[in-house]
Amino acid sequence: MVAACIAALPILRATAHPRHLSAADYSRAEQFMPYDTAPLVDDEVQIVHWLPGDRFWYIEHDARGDHYRIMDARTGQSAAAFNRAKLAAALGNAINAVLDPARLGITAIQVSHGHLALTRDGKHFTCELSGAGHCAPAPQPRGSGGEPGIVSPNGKLLAFVRGWNLWVRDVASGREQQLTFDGVRNFGYATHNAGWIHGARPVLDWSPNSREIATYQQDQRKVGDMYLVSAAVGHPRLEKWKYPLPGDRHVFLIEPVVVHVASRTVVRLRLPPQQRLSSLCDELSCRNSGHWDDLQWAGNSRTLALVSTSRDRRHEWFRLADARTGAVRTVFEESVATYYHSGIGAVDWRYLARSDQALWYSERNNWGNLYLYSLASGRLEHPVTTGHGDVTQVLHLDRASGEVWFRAVGRTPGINPYYEQLWKVSLRGGTPTLLTPQDCDHVVTMSPDGRYFVDSCSTPRHAPVTTLCDAATGRIIATVARAHLRRLRAIGWRPPQQIVVKARDGRTDLYGLLFKPTDFDPHEKYPIIDYIYPGPQVGSVSTFRFEASHFDDQSLAELGFIVVAIDGMGTPYRSARFHHLWYGDMGDNTLPDQVAAIRELARRYPWIDLDRVGIWGHSGGGDATADALLRYPDFFKVGWAESGNQDNRDYENDWGEKYQGLLVRAADGRTNYDNQANELLAAQLRGHLMLTYGTLDDNVPPENTEILIQALIKADRDFDMIAIPNVRHGYGYATPYITVRRWDYFVRHLGGSIPPAHFALRPWPWG
């Protein structure tokens, strides 16, 4: 029997008098939600952006609101960036609204000769604050049809896509010119369709001299379609776009080109069509900036380097191309047994045209390290970094001095292996210099010239201390701000407990966070809820730096639970062997580690009730949650699975084919993907399982959940479901509602209590 929402199924542990939770209990839980806790952290630096002239602006928050300040790195002195009251009045006049000077909501600032250029709610303004003050809208350059684009380095031209072709617009005059003429439907230039990512913004890279554009013509004419249907009164709206699946014969193919703007000529690089793949992520532009991450120009704009990836992600080619002739030379290659990735935080290879070298990222010694290659010979010159610990991101490369600044984890014995630290090393190799030795996680923002960096140092227990540092030595020049938690602690806030447990093998350490109710009683028995995200690209713990709230983990704990998040084997940051452990077996989902960890915690802490174990997650966590109840029905009793990719044969091809391998079908119809298909395990369900999904989810389309629903019905299993109309992968307007329903579900079925009727969370700022 399928319930439309939450069925009144029997609770796990019968009680003569079940506890009734009140609206006050839920209100107490709500006060630990991020939108309530974050404003209570005082003097935390929230944004750092560098300005010309060795200055940076930042936001420092306290009980009086947001303070926008500018610090001069040469002196370590700071001052207010502007008069808040005057700007609030001027900006309010521009948008016909009354603005609170303490909460302006500005997300970007540029300061030039007393003028301000700023961004608020995605809209841009220029402001003059001399005299009475005045602000005016400053629309960003777009094509005359509203097309988004990318501005050339000299600021004079905007490149955009119209009618499947590439155009440019003169920013000053508005004059537009078509650059390509053979783009047709589903075979266009610079298109942004990559399956679950699809939009109007182009993907391209201007040459440094602003005269050429490197991009591609993408062939998706034979790629299979994906469909979604809206819910509304009247005729529904059909959404249709290209979305390849594992095993599909036809996938996205790109033909790299260089477009010479002045002559409007297109030079095709002499390569066969390449599959549209990134060496790191699901998209050519990993941060959705429009920059093609696996392409880099030489400073003289004559040549460019690009990295190509095989469909199975096991082979990479580093290539050089001549922008004028299209001639291409493969310089070196790398093959791996599972899958290659070019970094963790970002694509970390670099084209060093002046020295005719390349900086390359590889896990060949079981750790993510950097290597220097000769572009003349294609041979490895030497490792730049060696030893244990992953390089997580190259932050700066000084070509003149031959030094590289990079973030890394696991390189300092005795500290949490997930804490990132900043290091410096010569391209010649040798012993790296640790610039941030403090035992904490470091969020570093380097100045463009590499002379300074701003460091935010924190742990789950300790609030951030933000300092300005000399990038050559790590010397602290000035303390920018030291965050305080007095107002946060006044509401009863307690930090999560950092835990270390053993993995499935009984030897490997796993790290996580544990949340207790603030009225915790060690003499009571508490059900435990496992928040899970199995990776492989990230783990369950969102961060080991300070957060006032880790989503709603503490809120859920307030309702009478122990809540844990544990990074199991198969997630990044630890080593290649750790990360790639269950390649080809995505049904693993770190679940053997989750079970082993929770059992160990129950032995360690008698207040954990091992007979009442719940689990929940979103997306990959939704897949893992359903998987947990199907594979371990005697262990996990209640699960809440949101928008899970329940069978990766119904998810985009570049995801499954990277972590599960290319789809292989045997003569009897079985495939190498069967070991991760939850619908094949439907008959094993015994606990309480809730399945939720958005009907307009263009990331994990609805059929990913619906095929599991169908299998559960055929197996005559009891389960619950909520299909949320007209929402994507994130639940938008329904997020507060779904959060409360999730609380209710665990309170009722895992806690054996009765939730309050009709409790509603406040609308979320990001909902």
Distance CA 707, CA 713 (A): 10
What DSSP designation does 42 have?
B
Check residue 13 and give its pLDDT: 45
pLDDT tens, 315-374? 999 999 999 999 999 999 999 999 999 999 899 999 999 999 999 999 999 999 999 999
Q: 212-219 and 205-206 as β-strands: parallel, antiparallel, unpaired?
A: antiparallel
Check residue 6 and give its pLDDT: 36
Distance CA 324, CA 318 (A): 19
Read off the tokens for 70. Answer: 């500018």
Q: Rounded to two decimals, what is the model's pTM?
A: 0.94
Nearby residues of 234 by Cβ (< 8 Å), 6 or more positions away: none
Check residue 154 and give its pLDDT: 97
Distance CA 364, CA 334 (A): 10
Check residue 9 and give its pLDDT: 37
Check residue 199 and give its pLDDT: 87
Check residue 348 and give its pLDDT: 97
| CA dihedral sign, ordered 92, 98, 104, 287 | negative
pLDDT tens, 235-252? 999 999 999 999 999 999
Cβ atoms of 120 and 107 closer than 8 Å? yes
pLDDT at 8 > cutoff 90: no
**Partners of 66 in the β-ladder:** 61
pLDDT at 190 > cutoff 50: yes
Kindly state the average pLDDT of the residues 185-202.
93
**Domain extents for the chain?**
2-38+487-749
| CA dihedral sign, ordered 356, 360, 364, 365 | positive
Alpha-carbon distances of 109 from 81, 99, 443, rounded to whole Å: 9, 17, 21
With cut-offs at 50, 70 and 90, classify the pLDDT of residue 7.
very low
Check residue 2 and give its pLDDT: 39
Question: Nearest to residue 639, comparing CAs of 565, 555, 530, 718?
Answer: 530
Kindly state the average pLDDT of the residues 57-68.
94
What DSSP designation does 84 have?
H
pLDDT tens, 716-753? 999 999 999 999 999 999 999 999 999 999 999 999 99
What DSSP designation does 698 have?
S
H/E stretch holding 115: strand 115-120
pLDDT at 288 > cutoff 90: no
Alpha-carbon distances of 687 from 8, 113, 629, 674, 748, rounded to whole Å: 13, 66, 7, 23, 13
pLDDT tens, 507-543? 999 999 999 999 999 999 999 999 999 999 999 999 9
With cut-offs at 50, 70 and 90, classify the pLDDT of residue 766.
low
- Write phi, then psi, for 426 (nearest 5 degrees): -80, 145
With cut-offs at 50, 70 and 90, classify the pLDDT of residue 765.
low
**Partners of 125 in the β-ladder:** 118, 137
With cut-offs at 50, 70 and 90, classify the pLDDT of residue 189.
very high
pLDDT at 257 > cutoff 70: yes
Tell me what percent of the residues of the chain surpass a pLDDT of 90.
92
Nearby residues of 77 by Cβ (< 8 Å), 6 or more positions away: 71, 478
**Residue 141, SS3?**
coil
Distance CA 368, CA 363 (A): 4
pLDDT tens, 599-637? 999 999 999 999 999 999 999 999 999 999 999 999 999
Check residue 47 and give its pLDDT: 85
Kindly state the average pLDDT of the residues 494-508.
98
Look over the chain and give the mean of its residue pLDDT values, rounded to a whole number.
95
**Partners of 601 in the β-ladder:** none
Question: Nearest to residue 36, comparing CAs of 27, 24, 44, 23?
Answer: 27
Cβ atoms of 639 and 629 closer than 8 Å? yes
Distance CA 614, CA 689 (A): 10
pLDDT tens, 105-162? 998 898 877 789 999 998 999 999 888 899 999 988 999 999 999 999 999 999 999 9
Kindly state the average pLDDT of the residues 184-208.
94
Distance CA 641, CA 11 (A): 19
Cβ atoms of 724 and 705 closer than 8 Å? no
Check residue 3 and give its pLDDT: 41
Burial 447-469 (b: 16+ CB within 10 A, else e): beebebbbbbbbbbebbbbbbbb
Question: Nearest to residue 359, comparing CAs of 333, 384, 328, 330?
Answer: 384
Alpha-carbon distances of 415 from 244, 408, 409, 547, 573, rounded to whole Å: 43, 13, 10, 19, 14
pLDDT at 41 > cutoff 70: yes
Kindly state the average pLDDT of the residues 418-433.
97
Check residue 286 and give its pLDDT: 92
Cβ atoms of 465 and 456 closer than 8 Å? yes
Q: 357-362 and 369-374 as β-strands: parallel, antiparallel, unpaired?
A: antiparallel
Distance CA 103, CA 112 (A): 23
Read off the tokens for 219. Answer: 């062939």
Check residue 763 and give its pLDDT: 82
How far does Cα 665 stand from its chain's mean position? 33
Superfamily of domain 2-38+487-749: Alpha/Beta hydrolase fold, catalytic domain (3.40.50.1820)
Check residue 12 and give its pLDDT: 43
Alpha-carbon distances of 408 from 10, 160, 437, rounded to whole Å: 49, 37, 12
Burial environment of residue 346 by CB neighbours within 10 A (0 to 12, 13 to 18, 19 or more): middle
Question: Nearest to residue 219, comparing CAs of 185, 192, 254?
Answer: 254
How far does Cα 139 stand from its chain's mean position? 28
H/E stretch holding 749: helix 735-749
Distance CA 510, CA 594 (A): 10
Burial environment of residue 184 by CB neighbours within 10 A (0 to 12, 13 to 18, 19 or more): exposed
With cut-offs at 50, 70 and 90, classify the pLDDT of residue 405.
very high
Read off the tokens for 492. Answer: 């009863």
Read off the tokens for 156. Answer: 């004079």
Cβ atoms of 25 and 462 closer than 8 Å? no
Tell me what percent of the residues of the chain surpass a pLDDT of 70.
97
Cβ atoms of 104 and 87 closer than 8 Å? yes
